[in-house]
Amino acid sequence: MEFVLYEQKDKIGIITINREKALNALNSQVLDELSEAFDAVDLNVVRCLILTGAGEKSFVAGADIGEMSTLTKAEGEAFGKKGNDLFRKIESFPIPVIAAVNGFALGGGCEISMSCDIRICSDNAMFGQPEVGLGITPGFGGTQRLARLVSPGMAKQLIYTARNIKADEAYRIGLVNAVYSAETDEAGNVTVSAKDALMAAAEKMAAGIAAQAPIAVRNCKKAINDGLQVNIDEAIVIEEKLFGDCFETEDQKAGMGNFLKKKDDPTKVKVVDFKNA
């Protein structure tokens, strides 16, 4: 692939949007390649994904304005569908996806991060939906996901004003879970860049997720996502079904068995090697 890199580290997969010269802007080819990259993930091995952008400056600076500028209505619709199909694929991907947001996450960049399960960022991150300044609405789910993730009032303010916000404000309104800064030595020299600190934190979080019972983690993702779309009575039924679905799995037996063994003798097995079965 020209614009997407994939690296697998044990049970973690890292997908990198690699179009640094255009600040990782999403053109049709990037959208196609991202879709292929997600399809190619080996779900028998990989238990958590990280999505990031190449370089230090930008996660994704939006949909490709150059490509969009000449689209006809029909082409615009097709482009929108390509993006929306990909973003739904990420959102409903069976395993968790962490967005490691390094720098700009504007327009489609903010939107793709919001289709991930969790967002963390470097302290140079900047989020925004600048579309109304370009004469369009956020078209990759921005009006819907931002309003669900932060308050509707805050989402409306950000979208109507097209104002970009920095990492600390994104953290304050709950758009990101954590912000990472560069580390320095006593003389003030940078020893770890903000991007490296971010990626180390993302991998640590991903490893923590990958160490849990995988069927249970997948069912939690589905329960939260599906439950948020319906009323609480229906949501509880969704939860019950996915809870029940975990029973009789090898991992449920191993997880509970480990706890009971530890009660008898605390020196017994502490880490369960979950089998995804």
Task: Give catalytic residues, as residue numbers.
Answer: 111, 131
- Which residues ranging from 42 to 71 are in contact with ligand DAK (CB under 6 A)? 61-66, 68
Residue closer to ligand DAK by CB (options 96, 130) is 130
The neighbour count for residue 273, using CB atoms within 10 Å, is 9
Name every residue whose Cβ is closer than 8 Å to that of residue 246 and which is 6 or more positions away in sequence. Answer: 213, 215, 216, 219, 252
Residue closer to ligand DAK by CB (options 61, 100) is 61
Q: Shortest distance, CB of residue 63 to ligand DAK, whole angstroms? A: 3
The neighbour count for residue 63, using CB atoms within 10 Å, is 28
Q: Is 87 in the site for ligand DAK (CB under 6 A)?
A: no
Q: Shortest distance, CB of residue 246 to ligand DAK, whole angstroms? A: 37
Q: Is 106 in the site for ligand DAK (CB under 6 A)?
A: yes
Site track 13-32 with ligand DAK (rule: CB under 6 A), x = hit: ---------xx-x-------
Q: Is 255 in the site for ligand DAK (CB under 6 A)?
A: no
Residue closer to ligand DAK by CB (options 155, 242) is 155
Site track 113-152 with ligand DAK (rule: CB under 6 A), x = hit: -----------------xx--x-x--xx------------
Q: Shortest distance, CB of residue 19 to ligand DAK, whole angstroms? A: 9
H or E segment and range at residue 53: strand 48-53
Count interface residues toward ligand DAK (CB under 6 A).
24
CA atoms of 269 and 14, how far apart (whole Å): 30
**For the chain, what's the residue count?**
277
Spatial contact of 273 and 253, defined as CB atoms under 8 Å apart = no
DSSP per-residue letters across 13-37: EEEEE--GGGTT-B-HHHHHHHHHH
Name every residue whose Cβ is closer than 8 Å to that of residue 262 and which is 6 or more positions away in sequence. Answer: 268, 269, 270
Query: Which residues does residue 53 pair with via DSSP β-bridges, in sequence order?
Result: 17
Which of these ranges, 37-45, 78-86, 152-160, 217-225, lies near ligand DAK under the rule CB under 6 A?
78-86
CA atoms of 179 and 172, how far apart (whole Å): 10
- Which residues ranging from 174 to 193 are in contact with ligand DAK (CB under 6 A)? none
From residue 189, give the alpha-carbon distance in Å to each of 179, 186, 196, 199, 206: 20, 7, 15, 20, 29
Q: Is 165 in the site for ligand DAK (CB under 6 A)?
A: no
Which residues contact ligand DAK (rule: CB under 6 A)?
A: 22-23, 25, 61-66, 68, 76, 79-80, 83, 104, 106-108, 130-131, 134, 136, 139-140
